[in-house]
């Protein structure tokens, strides 16, 4: 099945990892892509050497000079066709995402659907890149603001959403008139190669200048090239807070723009007035979906003391029913972690929690035996903890859920906000006052705040991003398109005089 999938997506056993569209090359070291599903070698990619990177950037500069002159609706039509191409390849690309990354097959299909949805959003957006008009204080003058393409957008994406986050950035950037250079995670390189092939076919049909879609596969050094390059006015980076701080510092040092989507330490407050069926379902999916490897994964449950034991019992029962195994088998709820390093981090977090006094009500551990040969399958676990534990303040990219107790809604919100990260948050309540307080200025300090749904599953229509150590960036929907453009204020004098602003007189 995987062999047919790779053939459909034009992926060879050894692929070059740098591309300007039609042209493929790569003179760097070879990296292998091993599936966490079964430990098998999927393929290899030759990474981008510095000479490859330079070739991609120069081609992007040349392409931008032409691409920015295309009318935005015409650029949108190209993106519409990319959406159609993704629809045709949804099954194959979804399977590759599942197999190379390890998420469930349904989540793999869902990720490709997000790509299709953002294409649809971007097509409509291509006719709505609006500015403002305003009245001038000077007679016979008109003022307005407009937005122009920014230039080259560098995109650094993470392994957990190997294609969707790239598309959130790229489709918007393209309709805005920018060109893009993508540095995907070296843990999921084949997903990026597949996307580049899909886009290249559409671009060739539409005579899009080569270089509008650039690809540079590599390690941390490749990301540093993007971050430090003054030719790239915007770098969008998704990943850990540690990585984001390095990118932000490098881009800031040259006064460029950084769009940062970093770590999350997301919590659900479960009120005594909650619908407990919804609360438990939202909590379980939020905690174990993608094996806890989402930036929006639920990592903390803040539960009212009057229902704490009841929720704990229901969660324990629900976790006992989880099926862990091959994510391409749709009967399984939980797949593997991305690699052995992630497993080590998971085990270290469990030991840290126990050392701080945490009590596990659902024990963790690594699964062994038939079907678990890759060594990347772990048990989702639940620990009773306290907000002040250092491990609770930390984001562990694995299915570990911490239970915390509260007595008043003010206390619950304080616990929710009392971590360095600020991405996603939720409250489960049927109490209107609690819901409104949670959404108020004195409520959740996160970029995403939900009522009666979990912390994961953001829709592309809303701007996605968070505050504090999550980075402050916004991408995908709403008016996130503005970050990919430069803003310009224009004043036109259509009179026969030259009155100066603020009534200043300058007689000659």
Per-residue pLDDT of the chain (508 residues; tens, 9 = 90+): 699 999 999 999 999 999 999 999 999 999 999 999 999 999 999 999 999 999 999 999 999 999 999 999 999 999 999 999 999 999 999 999 999 999 999 999 999 999 999 999 999 999 999 999 999 999 999 999 999 999 999 999 999 999 999 999 999 999 999 999 999 999 999 999 999 999 999 999 999 999 999 999 999 999 999 999 999 999 999 999 999 999 999 999 999 999 999 999 999 999 999 999 999 999 999 999 999 999 999 999 999 999 999 999 999 999 999 999 999 999 999 999 999 999 999 999 999 999 999 999 999 999 999 999 999 999 999 999 999 999 999 999 999 999 999 999 999 999 999 999 999 999 999 999 999 999 999 999 999 999 999 999 889 999 999 999 999 999 999 999 999 999 999 999 999 999 887 888 877 7
Report the 10 Å Cβ neighbour count for 110.
15
Report the greatest alpha carbon distance in the chain: 91
Phi, psi of 473 (to 5 degrees): -80, 160
CA 207 to chain centre: 30
The alpha carbon dihedral of 231, 237, 243, 249 has a sign of positive
Buried b or exposed e, range 78-91, using 16+ CB within 10 angstroms: bbbbbbebbeebbe
Helix 105-125 and helix 164-175: axis angle, to 10°? 10
CA 399 to chain centre: 18
Burial of 130 (0-12, 13-18, 19+ CB in 10 A): exposed
Joined together, the tokens standing for residue 171 give 């489709």
Give the C-alpha separation, 304 to 316, whole Å. Answer: 17
Give the C-alpha separation, 19 to 170, whole Å. Answer: 15
How do beta strands 24-25 and 234-238 pair?
A: unpaired
Catalytic residue among 210, 261, 434, 469: 261
Joined together, the tokens standing for residue 372 give 């678990």
Phi, psi of 398 (to 5 degrees): -165, 165
Predicted TM-score of the model (pTM): 0.96
Report the 10 Å Cβ neighbour count for 433.
10
Joined together, the tokens standing for residue 176 give 């805005």
How do beta strands 467-468 and 421-422 pair?
A: antiparallel
Q: What residue ranges do the domains of the chain occupy?
A: 2-262+471-488, 266-451
| Assigned superfamily of 2-262+471-488 | Aldehyde Dehydrogenase; Chain A, domain 1 (3.40.605.10)
Does 2-262+471-488 match 266-451 in CATH topology? Answer: no
Give the C-alpha separation, 326 to 393, whole Å. Answer: 31
Give the C-alpha separation, 466 to 264, whole Å. Answer: 8
Domain spanning 266-451 has what CATH number?
Answer: 3.40.309.10
8 Å CB contact between 307 and 318: no
Active site residue 84: no
């Amino acid at each position: 099945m995987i062999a047919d999938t790779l053939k459909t997506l034009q992926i060879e056993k050894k692929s070059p990892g740098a591309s300007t569209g039609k042209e493929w090359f790569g003179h760097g070291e070879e990296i292998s892509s091993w599936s966490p599903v079964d430990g098998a070698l999927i393929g290899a990619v030759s990474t981008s050497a510095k000479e490859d990177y330079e070739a991609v950037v120069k081609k992007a500069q040349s392409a931008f000079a032409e691409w920015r002159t295309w009318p935005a609706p015409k650029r949108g039509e190209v993106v519409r066709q990319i959406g159609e191409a993704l629809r045709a390849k949804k099954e194959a690309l979804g399977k590759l995402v599942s197999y190379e990354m390890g998420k469930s097959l349904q989540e793999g299909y869902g990720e490709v659907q997000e790509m299709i949805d953002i294409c649809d959003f971007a097509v409509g957006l291509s006719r709505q890149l609006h500015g403002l008009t305003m009245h001038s204080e000077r007679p016979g003058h008109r003022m307005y603001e407009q937005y122009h393409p920014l230039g080259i957008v560098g995109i650094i994406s993470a392994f957990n959403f190997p294609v969707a986050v790239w598309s959130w950035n790229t489709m918007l950037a393209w309709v805005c008139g920018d060109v893009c250079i993508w540095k995907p995670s070296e843990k999921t390189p084949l997903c990026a190669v597949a996307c580049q092939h899909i886009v290249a076919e559409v671009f060739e049909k539409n005579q899009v200048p080569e270089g509008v879609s650039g690809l540079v596969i590599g390690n941390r050094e490749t990301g540093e090239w993007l971050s430090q390059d003054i030719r790239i006015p915007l770098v969008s980076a998704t990943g850990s807070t540690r990585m984001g701080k390095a990118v932000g510092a490098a881009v800031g040092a040259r006064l460029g723009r950084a769009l940062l989507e970093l770590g999350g330490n997301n919590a659900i407050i479960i009120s005594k007035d909650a619908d407990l069926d919804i609360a438990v379902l939202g909590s379980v999916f939020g905690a174990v979906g993608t094996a806890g490897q989402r930036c929006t994964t639920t990592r903390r449950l803040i539960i009212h003391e009057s229902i704490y034991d009841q929720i704990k019992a229901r969660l324990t029962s629900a976790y006992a029913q989880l099926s862990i195994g091959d994510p391409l088998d749709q009967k399984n709820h939980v797949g593997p972690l991305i690699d052995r390093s992630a497993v080590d981090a998971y085990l270290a977090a469990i030991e840290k929690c126990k050392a701080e006094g945490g009590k596990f009500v659902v024990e963790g551990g690594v699964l062994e035996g038939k079907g678990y040969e890759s060594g990347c399958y772990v048990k989702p676990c639940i620990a009773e903890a306290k907000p002040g534990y250092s491990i609770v303040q930390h984001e562990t990219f694995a299915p570990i859920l911490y239970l915390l107790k509260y007595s008043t809604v003010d206390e619950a919100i304080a616990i929710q906000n009392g971590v360095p990260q600020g991405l996603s948050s939720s409250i489960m309540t049927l109490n209107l006052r609690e819901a409104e307080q949670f959404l108020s200025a004195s409520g959740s300090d996160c970029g995403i705040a939900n009522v009666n749904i979990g912390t994961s599953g953001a829709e592309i229509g809303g701007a996605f991003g968070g505050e504090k150590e999550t980075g402050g960036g916004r991408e995908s929907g709403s008016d996130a398109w503005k970050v990919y453009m430069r803003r310009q204020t224009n004043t036109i004098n259509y009179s026969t005089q030259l009155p100066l602003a603020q009534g200043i007189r300058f007689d000659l």
